[in-house]
Structure 1
Amino acid sequence: MRKNIWLACLVVLLAGILVACNSNDNEKAGTDTSEKKQAGSDNQEEVTIKFHTHGNEASYNWSDTIAAFEEEYPNIKVDLVILSEKGDTNEALQKLDLEAASGSQLDVLMFSDPASYAERVDLGMVAAIDEFIEEDGYSVEEDYKVNTILNDHYYALPGKFNPWYVLVNKDHLQEAGLEVPTEWTWDDFQDYAKKLTTDDHYGTFFHGPQNGGWMEYMSLALASKEENSTFVKENGEANFDDPMFRKTLAMRVEMEKEDKSATPYADILSQNLHYRNQWFNQDASLLLIGSWMNTELGGTDQFPLDFEVGVAPYPINEGSDNNGFTPVTTDYMAVAEKSKQKEAAYTFIRWYTTEGQVVQGKNIPSWNGVDETEFADIVDTILDDTVSPEKVDKESLINVLTNAKSSKLIPPVAGQAEIYQVVNDEYEKLIYGEQDLDKTIDELQKKATAILESN
C-alpha cells in the first residue's frame, strides 16, 4: 500500500513537470531528425546529456566506455550520474525517482529489471523510441536477444545479457560417468542430479524461494516456455494452472523427498545456506543460476576454485521445439520523456547497447551483432579477471551464452510482490507436507486471482 501511495504521488509530481516541459519538447521535436543525421559532424551544436545509472565504475568501466562514445560522437558529451557507488539497485531507483520529482535534467536512464522499467513507463517517465528505431531501419527482435517491447511500443534497448544456465562440477560428472550436457530436458536434469548425489554432496542446490524472493526457483519448467513463462499470463490472469508450473512443483518435491538429490529446503533456511558456498565448497554438483556468475566462474580470493567447471544450457521441456528459452536479466537503456535532447540520448543508448558493449568488456552483450571473435574476446576478458580461468570449460560457456534466448517480456502487475509471497507460503506448506500438490495449485490460482482482481 505504501508503495502504491508513493507511486501515485510521483505521478502527480511528474505530471506537473511534464506539462511544464511539453512546449519545449514540442519545439525540439521538429529538429531532432536533422540533428540525428548529423550526429558527430563538425557543424552540429554540442549538447550534453545526463546519464543516470545504478552501475558503478568497477562493474561497468564507464570511463573507457564513455570516452569511446565521445570520440565517435564529439558533439555529444555524457555527464555520468552514478546513483549508488555500491551498485545497490534499490538505492539507485529511489534516488532516480527523487531526481525526476525535483525536476532535475534527465536524458538517459538505466533500469536493472523489468519491474522498474515497466513501472516508470507507466508513470510517463520514459519516452517511446519507435520512431528512432524505424528511422534506423532495424528490428529490436532481430538485433537483440532480449525483446523490450511493452504495450506494442519500445521504450528501451537491452544492454548486457545474463541468461540463466546450469553450472556443472566436471570432476563429479567424471566420477559418475556423465558428460556435460549440450541439450537436455528437465527430466534429464533430475536424472543427472540423482546420479550425482553421494554421501559427500547433493546433486543440486535450489536457492529459493526465500521470503518472497528468488522466485526463479519456483518457475523452472515454466520459464522454459517462449510465452506466458511467468506467474501471470500476458492477458493478466493467474498462470498457476499451467502444466509446466505443476511440473516444477512436482519435480522439487520428488528431488528432495524421493530422490534425495536436492539440498533440503528446511536446511537451506535453518542454516542460512548460500549458493556460492554450496557451489565452491562442492556441496552440490549442479547449480541453476544466472550468468552474472561469469565473473566468478574461475574462482575468487574469497571463493577459490578447486575443480573443473562446465556450463550446461537451461533445460527444455519435453517435446519442445524451441530450445534455449531461459530467465534473463539485462539493463534496460531508456530515454527520459522530459529530455530536451532525445535524439542525442537515443544515439547514446543505441551505441552503448551495440558497439559500446564490446568496448566496455564487462558483460556479454544482448546485441546479436557481436562476431565470434569479439564474443570470445569478451569471455576471455571476463574470465581473466578470475583466479583460475584455466579451470573453466570456455567452449561450453560460449555455446550456452550464444544459444540462450529470452522469453517474451510480460509487464509486471500491481500486487506482484503479494503474489510472490503467496507462492512462497504455499510452497512451504507443500514441501513441509502440510498440503498436497493439487491443493497447493488450487490455493495459488485462487489467491493470485483475488490479488489481481483487487488491484
Structure 2
Amino acid sequence: MRNWKKLGALAMASLMAMSVMAGCQSGRKSDQATTPAETAKTEESKTETPKTGSGEPVVLRMWGGVPAEAGPQAVCDNFNQLYKDKGIQVEYERFVNDDTGNLKLETNLLSGDGVDLYMTYSTDTLTKRAEGNMALDLSELIARDDFQLTKYFGTLAEAYYINGNPFSIPTKLDQYGIVLNQDMFEAAGIEIPTEWTFEEFREIAKKLTHGEGQDKVYGMFWNSQQDLTYLFTYLAAQTNGGDPMYKNDKETSFDDPVVLKSVELINNMMNVDKTSPTHTDSVTQKLSQESMFLTGKSAMTVGPWIVRSVKDQASYPHDFKTAFAPYPVVEEGQRNYTQGGYGDHLCINPKSQNIDAAWEFAKWYATEGMLPVVEGGRVPASNTYNALEVTEAFVMGAEDYLDSETTQKILITPADNYAVPSITNHIAEVRKIAVEELEGIFIGKQTVEEGMKKAKTRADALLQK
C-alpha cells in the first residue's frame, strides 16, 4: 500500500467543516439540506428488506476480531432495535485475529456453517478469501442497489478490489503513528515530535530507556511477536509508498535502501542499543502492547490499535496520558506519504443462506452504524458521518488519558495521499518468506544484509515462476 502525506493538525472547527466526513449518524442530521447519509437511506429504501416466509426474523451471524464489549455488541443492539420490524436481527461472535482465530473463521466459511458476515483485517487475507470462494463478489448487489463504493469511500475503495471486483466494504479509516507516553516525554524534557528521522527516533528511545531487569523501562516496544512485517508497513512505506515489499509484480524490494535501513533500525534497537525488548523475549514471554506500554514498561509502541485498551481502565489501570506521533523516516524531508489506508473489510460469506439480509446489515453498518466502535478507536471510512461526532466518540471516557490534539492530527484528520495497495502477487508467500528471514536476523543467526539477500532471492524466484 502507498502511504499518505501527513496533514497538519486541524482545530476542531476545521474538523467539523471537513466535507470528506460530513453527514450524520443514527438519524441525527447535520446542517446540510441533504446529507450523504440521507441519500444512502433513500436509495437503500428502494430495496425490499428480506423476511422469512414463516414470519420469524432472519438471524445473521456476524464474526469480528474486536471484543463485543468494545462496540460491536452495541452496534448489533442498535441494528436489532432499528430492524426488529423489518425481519432481520444480528448476533455477534468474536474471533481472535491471529492464525488460530482466522483458521477457525475460514473453517466455518468453507463449511457454510455459522457465518453470514465477517471482518477481514489485511489485504493479503482478503485476497486469499476472495480467490478461495470465502468472500462474495459484491458487484451484482452494488449494481442492483446503486450502492457505488466510490460514492461513500472515494476512489481509494477501488484499491481494495480483488482482480477488479469488490469483495468487501472497507469500513474503517486506518491512520497510524507511534504511540507514546506523554508523561515520560515531558519528564525527559522531550517534545512530542511532529517529524523525526530514524536516528532522532533511535536517540530519543535511548534517552527514555532506563533501569535493569524487572525494573527496566524500554524506550520502544516493537510488538514483533505479533507481526514481524510492521517495518514494511510503518517504516519503509513512509518513503516508498503503497507496496513496500515490491518493486513490481515480478520483483521484491528486499534490497531497497529504505527497507534495509528499516530492518537495521529495529535490529539495532533490539540487539545493540537494548532500547527495545528482543524478538526472542517478545515471543517467549508473550509480550503485548498492553503488557509493555500500559504498565509503563515502554515509553513508545508501534500501533494505535491499543486505543481501546487505553480506555479500559478496569483492565489496564494507568495514570499517564497517551499521545501520538508520525512514524520516523530515514532522512529529514524524505516523507512522501502518511501511513494508512482502509481496514475492517466487511465481507459476506458466499455460502450464507441470508445474503440479501447480510447486505442490508453491511450497508447500514458502513454508512450509519459505526459510532459505538469509534469509542473503541475505529474511525469510519464512509463520508456519511459527522466529524464532530466521530471525534467526540473517539475520546469519550478517556479525556484524561488521550491527548486530543495529537489524536486528531495523527488518527482522525484524513490525509490527502492514502496508501493504496496495487500488487498482490503471491503476497501471502512473500510475506511468509520475509518473516522467516527477518526472524533469523532478529535472533542473531544472520546479518541484515545476509537475511534480506536470502529473502529477495527466495521471493523473486517465486514471483518469476
Return the structure number with greater helix share: 1
What amino acid maps onto 1:122 in structure 2? E
CA distance 1:63–1:301, change in 2 (3 Å): closer
Q: Which residue of 1 aligns with 2:346?
A: 333
Q: 3-state DSSP class of the match of 1:203? A: coil
- Residue 401 of structure 1 deviates from its aligned partner by 0.9
Q: Which residue of 2 aligns with 1:222?
A: 236
Q: Which residue of 2 aligns with 1:310?
A: 323
Give TM-score scaled by structure 2 length. Answer: 0.72
Gap runs ≥5 in structure 2: 1-42
Q: Which residue of 2 aligns with 1:246?
A: 260
Instruction: Work out whether residues 39 and 73 of structure 1, in 8 Å CA contact, stay in contact via their aligned partners in 2.
Output: no
Query: After superposition, where does 1:252-291 map in structure 2 within 5 Å?
Result: 252-256=266-270, 259-265=273-279, 267-268=281-282, 273-289=287-303, 291=304
Instruction: Work out whether residues 170 and 346 of structure 2, in 8 Å CA contact, stay in contact via their aligned partners in 1.
Output: yes
Q: Which residue of 1 aligns with 2:305?
A: 292
Instruction: Work out whether residues 54 and 110 of structure 1, in 8 Å CA contact, stay in contact via their aligned partners in 2.
Output: yes
Query: Aligned partners of 2:83 and 2:334: how far apart in 1?
Result: 44
- Residue 123 of structure 1 deviates from its aligned partner by 1.6
Query: Aligned partners of 1:228 and 1:42: how far apart in 2?
Result: 39
What amino acid maps onto 1:113 in structure 2? S
- Residue 235 of structure 1 deviates from its aligned partner by 1.2
Q: Which residue of 1 aligns with 2:401?
A: 391
Query: Aligned partners of 2:359 and 2:190: how far apart in 1?
Result: 48
Which of 142, 150, 154 does residue 166 from structure 2 map onto?
A: 154
Instruction: Work out whether residues 76 and 92 of structure 2, in 8 Å CA contact, stay in contact via their aligned partners in 1.
Output: no
Give TM-score scaled by structure 1 length. Answer: 0.73
Q: 3-state DSSP class of the match of 1:51? A: strand
Query: Aligned partners of 1:376 and 1:223: how far apart in 2?
Result: 27
Which of 205, 218, 225 does residue 193 from structure 1 map onto?
A: 205
Gap runs ≥5 in structure 1: 1-34
- Residue 88 of structure 1 deviates from its aligned partner by 6.0
Query: Aligned partners of 2:204 and 2:195: how far apart in 1?
Result: 13
Query: Aligned partners of 1:339 and 1:273: how far apart in 2?
Result: 38
CA distance 1:452–1:258, change in 2 (3 Å): same
- Residue 111 of structure 1 deviates from its aligned partner by 2.6
What amino acid maps onto 1:376 in structure 2? T
Query: Aligned partners of 1:144 and 1:188: how far apart in 2?
Result: 33
Answer 1 or 2: higher relative contact order, Cα 8 Å, separation at least 6.
2
The CA RMSD over aligned residues, in Å, is 4.0
Which of 355, 366, 369 does residue 368 from structure 2 map onto?
A: 355
CA distance 1:147–1:357, change in 2 (3 Å): farther
Q: Which residue of 2 aligns with 1:54?
A: 64
Aligned pair count reads: 407
Q: Which residue of 2 aligns with 1:39?
A: 47
Query: After superposition, where does 1:50-449 map in structure 2 within 5 Å?
Result: 50-55=60-65, 57-62=68-73, 64-68=75-79, 71=82, 74-75=85-86, 77-80=88-91, 82=93, 84=94, 87=96, 93-104=102-113, 107-133=116-142, 135-139=146-150, 141-142=153-154, 147-199=159-211, 201-208=217-224, 213-217=227-231, 220-225=234-239, 227-232=241-246, 235-256=249-270, 259-265=273-279, 267-268=281-282, 273-289=287-303, 291-298=304-311, 300-316=313-329, 318=331, 319-320=333-334, 322-326=336-340, 330-338=343-351, 342-360=355-373, 361-369=375-383, 370-381=385-396, 383-384=397-398, 389-403=399-413, 407-409=419-421, 410-411=423-424, 413-416=427-430, 418-428=432-442, 432=444, 435-449=446-460
Once the two structures are superposed, what CA deviation does each residue of 1:127-161 show, in whole Å capped at 9, x if it has no partner?
A: 22245546234516528789522222211012344
What amino acid maps onto 1:51 in structure 2? R
Moved more, 303-312 or 213-222: 213-222
Query: Aligned partners of 1:323 and 1:113: how far apart in 2?
Result: 19
What amino acid maps onto 1:202 in structure 2? Y
Instruction: Work out whether residues 222 and 244 of structure 1, in 8 Å CA contact, stay in contact via their aligned partners in 2.
Output: yes
CA distance 1:303–1:334, change in 2 (3 Å): closer
Instruction: Work out whether residues 209 and 217 of structure 1, in 8 Å CA contact, stay in contact via their aligned partners in 2.
Output: no
